[in-house]
Amino acid sequence: MAQTVQPGKFVYFFSAGRTEGGAGDKKLLGGKGANLAEMTTLGIPVPPGFTISTEVCTYYYANGNKYPADLQAQIDKGIAELEAAIGKKFGDKANPLLVSVRSGAPVSMPGMMDTILNLGLNDETVAGLIASTGNARFAYDSYRRFIQMYGNVVLGLKHHDFEHILDGLKKSKGVTEDLALDAEDLKKLIAEYKVEVKAKIGRDFPQSPKEQLMGAIDAVFASWMNDRAITYRKLNNISEALGTAVNVQSMVFGNMGDDCGTGVAFTRNPANGERKFYGEFLMNAQGEDVVAGIRTPLSIEKLGEKMPEALKELHSYADKLEHHYKDMQDIEFTIERSKLYMLQTRSGKRTAFAAIRTAVEMVDEKLIDEKAALKRIDASTLPSLLAKIFDEKEKKEVLAKGLVVATGLPAGPGAASGKIALTAEKAVEWAEKGVKSILVRVETSPEDISGMHSSEGILTARGGMTSHAAVVARGMNKPCIVGCSALEVDYKTGTVEFNSGTAKAVKMKEGDHISIDGFTGQVLNASLNTIPSELEQVFVTKTLPMEKSLLAQQYARIMQWSDQYSRLKVRTNADTPEDAAVARSYGAMGIGLCRTEHMFFAEERIAAMREMILSSSLEEREKALAKLLPYQRADFKGIFSAMEGLAVTVRLLDPPLHEFLPHEEAQIEELAKAFGKTSQYVHKKMDDLKEFNPMLGHRGCRLGVTYPEITAMQTRAIIEAAAELLKEGKKVFPEIMVPLVGHFKELANQAKVIRETADAVMKEKGIKVEYALGTMIEVPRAAVTADEIAEHAEFFSFGTNDLTQMTSGFSRDDSEHYLPYYIEKGIYPQNPFQVFDWEGVGKLVEIAIEKGRKTNPKIKLGVCGEHGGDPASIGYCHRVGLDYVSCSPYRVPIARLAAAQAALA
């Protein structure tokens, strides 16, 4: 679809007679405007109108909030053409043209001014509307709605300013419903509204339709820079330069009588993806009534009972649009006096479940090809496929009993159940005793992090999808519901109350059991069992056969296509055979990071580890290391076996040694006793190991350089494990990775120890083990000297967590003190520990890639930081030409899809 940009042209018309632009013009006309033009061209009945292009927005902000000189004339011309097309006149006392004004950015943008309806009404034209419709109540209702909407959005009055007057009127009349007000009441209301407007803004409510229109256009452009819009753009990485368009469209009315109505529909089910027309409508209503929830909309099938022709026509347009756009459509329609009008069509938002199903089925329907199917799925939503779920039967029973006490925003997918914990401390305390909890707070802050970790799920009364609780919970893969406005928390009494206003209020107290459904936002006054996701049942626990799960079959096809189109390989970060097996079930192509330090914490091992640390001589240290060797060898055999046939990158000991020592006095004394040292000696040793900045301390290869015997022991364990498995006929590909290298001589030093030890073991065992030797690139110095380092390495694995810490000078553990401010103030678009900072840290990655390949063209390059599981960061990894990413087992599916999407981008 062609681009329709014409220099100096700012207003684009659409009507059955003449339409400028189409679906390909989203950048110029915004999503809504482009689709209105497209539908018009397709011959679908759309009320005519025109779109003021995004170029005007850009001009407006680049020129001190001024419009191009020619704009007013073009708008006037647009209005004139619209009057001609529709046979009504703007401001006409007999049969006035009324318009809606809507914003419409190139990408969907909540937070901006949305809609002003019925523009063009004034004290005179309202009479015309009465005359032309013969419906005074409708006309006055339209006018008072217009004053309210315009007063609020354009003139800056509060919603409350009007509600107040309306409530007073209803009270004086002794009614509760708006519908109980008659035409005279509404006329009176209009008068009072106008008084209120004048009182607040110091001048009359504008009566000139043209003035009304320009005011509304101003308001749309101004809303592009309101706080909510700015925040949304930042969070979603949307460029400010895009700008918004303004759509001015002639009004049609769904509220003119019983032959009128309005509704929304999806061409397929947006929750599960089933190919079934899905939607709801209200008779004799305007669009806002459907959304407001005062009247209960009817299922779209019911429309057939009332207006079978309209439903048939709607079906045909829906089909036409889905085939035309080759995607599931979300449409809005209005029926005015039995005539159907389409007001909007756009790609339908869908759950991950629906995304998988629609994508696969559209391929089978030959509507789209595999590549398009892959692009359709938002990789970041895939965690919901793997999140825990409630037992379906159990949940049905609970729903049947009406135990849903509130509904909030589903901010983190998954099901969770536990005791209400009102403080982070309580959640931590219970977790230590094995008691499951749901952390319930008004809102969360950085001090609640440990409690969030310790709980099964999080529920907050305040906050939106991007609040602290929501963002942190998603990062932790925890079920989470935020913005649960029915919830009131009283920390003092330790109680909570759920009071949605519509049902009976429910009081509960800390310690009571609740369940939360992070897919739907439902809060349940019940203790429900959670079970693994359907995919986990099929692929990991193997308790559900593939043939019984349509989801699993379709997921498997998506993953197969992903691997087919991606260039980037996907490995996993796994430290145990169990994790390795899970990751492999989800398609991991090897281990990119196997951390060895976690292996030292089991009881008998930590003793030997501490003995090693407390050693006062090489001899003592070697004795302690000899005790650790068999454990490590066994660990590696388990992991290599789980990953048979695939590469396993083992990182040598990384954390500072003090992390392995106890902190409590009793434990210290016990430790001293166990190793025949005084507790003073232990304290002295601990003092010696204490560090001001452990992140930049004695860790990583610095341990191996100072204690080469540790490197030797670990190498021996790796090569012995590999040798034993090779003798059993298993294929293993160990890769030994040296952490925290900053200077090539560090790597050369460790490589010597590794090669000599490996050679010795191979000689002892009489078998050759193929292994690779490489390094992490996580210290900035390593990046800028990667040419020297690459001469000693067969692979680089970018440790983007630490690289981000050192390059930006952000201690990850401390950054909560300032990073939230940074994101709030727009200094960073996102948390650089979640989405890789390619504009900054990325520069070092690119330098390292270029320099590394210069001296070692065959070097293998990967990422093993947590960014390896983030779709946007994976896109970056693809673009800069890495060979693989490595992520946690449960993010492997995301990474596979994101890798394919990157390749197809």
Query: b/e per residue, 691-729, with b = 16+ CB within 10 A?
Result: eeebeebebbbbbbbebbbbbbbbbbbbbbbbbbbbeee
Interface with a copy of itself includes 43 (CB under 8 A)? Answer: no
Nearer Cβ to a copy of itself, position 333 or 838?
838
Query: How many residues belong to the site for a copy of itself (CB under 8 A)?
Result: 52
One residue of 295, 598, 843, 854 binding a copy of itself per CB under 8 A: 843
As a whole number of angstroms, the distance between CA 75 and CA 118 comes to 18
Q: Is 778 flagged in the annotation as binding?
A: yes
Site for a copy of itself in 593-652 (CB under 8 A): none
Distance of closest approach, residue 825 Cβ to a copy of itself, in angstroms: 6
Distance of CA 336 to the CA centre of its chain: 38
Nearer Cβ to a copy of itself, position 8 or 692?
692
State the residue for tokens 């952390």: 439
One residue of 828, 833, 884, 890 binding a copy of itself per CB under 8 A: 828
Sign, Cα dihedral of 122, 126, 127, 131 = positive
Nearer Cβ to a copy of itself, position 442 or 689?
689
Is 453 a catalytic site residue? no
Nearer Cβ to a copy of itself, position 68 or 697?
697
Amino acid at 253: F
Site for a copy of itself in 416-455 (CB under 8 A): 447
> Six-digit token pair at 521?
């936002």
One residue of 213, 440, 526, 740 binding a copy of itself per CB under 8 A: 740
Amino acid at 572: T
Q: Is 178 flagged in the annotation as binding?
A: no
Neighbour count for residue 356 (Cβ, 10 Å): 29
One residue of 165, 552, 841, 900 binding a copy of itself per CB under 8 A: 841
Interface with a copy of itself includes 844 (CB under 8 A)? Answer: yes
Interface with a copy of itself includes 780 (CB under 8 A)? Answer: yes
Stretch that binds a copy of itself, among 22-30, 540-548, 575-583, 745-753 (CB under 8 A): 745-753
Nearer Cβ to a copy of itself, position 410 or 700?
700
- Residues 6 or more apart in contact with residue 461 via CB below 8 angstroms: 441, 442, 443, 483, 484, 485, 487, 488, 489
Is 864 a catalytic site residue? yes
Interface with a copy of itself includes 706 (CB under 8 A)? Answer: yes
Interface with a copy of itself includes 853 (CB under 8 A)? Answer: no
Nearer Cβ to a copy of itself, position 248 or 657?
657
Q: Which of 468, 658, 792, 878 is catalytic?
A: 468
One residue of 678, 827, 850, 854 binding a copy of itself per CB under 8 A: 827
**Angle in degrees, 0-180, between the axes of helices 54-62 and 209-223, rounded to the nearest 10:** 70
Edge to edge, the sheet with strand 115-119 lists: 11-14, 49-52, 245-250, 99-104, 115-119
The strand pairing partners of 292, in sequence order, are none
- Judged on CB neighbours under 10 Å (0-12, 13-18, 19+), 93 is middle
Interface with a copy of itself includes 491 (CB under 8 A)? Answer: no
Q: Is 800 flagged in the annotation as binding?
A: yes
- Judged on CB neighbours under 10 Å (0-12, 13-18, 19+), 466 is middle
Site for a copy of itself in 786-825 (CB under 8 A): 802, 805-811, 813-814, 817-818, 821-822, 825
Q: Which of 415, 472, 468 is nearest to 442 (CA)?
A: 468
Q: Are 386 and 536 in contact (CB under 8 A)?
A: yes
> Six-digit token pair at 905?
């981008």
Interface with a copy of itself includes 838 (CB under 8 A)? Answer: no
Distance of closest approach, residue 443 Cβ to a copy of itself, in angstroms: 17
Q: Are 332 and 287 in contact (CB under 8 A)?
A: yes
Q: Are 334 and 349 in contact (CB under 8 A)?
A: no
Interface with a copy of itself includes 693 (CB under 8 A)? Answer: yes
Site for a copy of itself in 662-691 (CB under 8 A): 688-689, 691
Q: Which of 57, 480, 594, 864 is catalytic?
A: 864
One residue of 692, 766, 857, 905 binding a copy of itself per CB under 8 A: 692
- Judged on CB neighbours under 10 Å (0-12, 13-18, 19+), 820 is middle
Interface positions with a copy of itself (CB under 8 A): 447, 688-689, 691-698, 700, 702, 705-706, 740, 742-743, 745-746, 749, 778-781, 784-785, 802, 805-811, 813-814, 817-818, 821-822, 825-828, 837, 839-841, 843-844, 847
Known binding site for substrate: residues? 595, 651, 778, 799-802
Catalytic residues: 468, 864
Q: Annotated binding site for Mg(2+): which residue ranges?
A: 778, 802
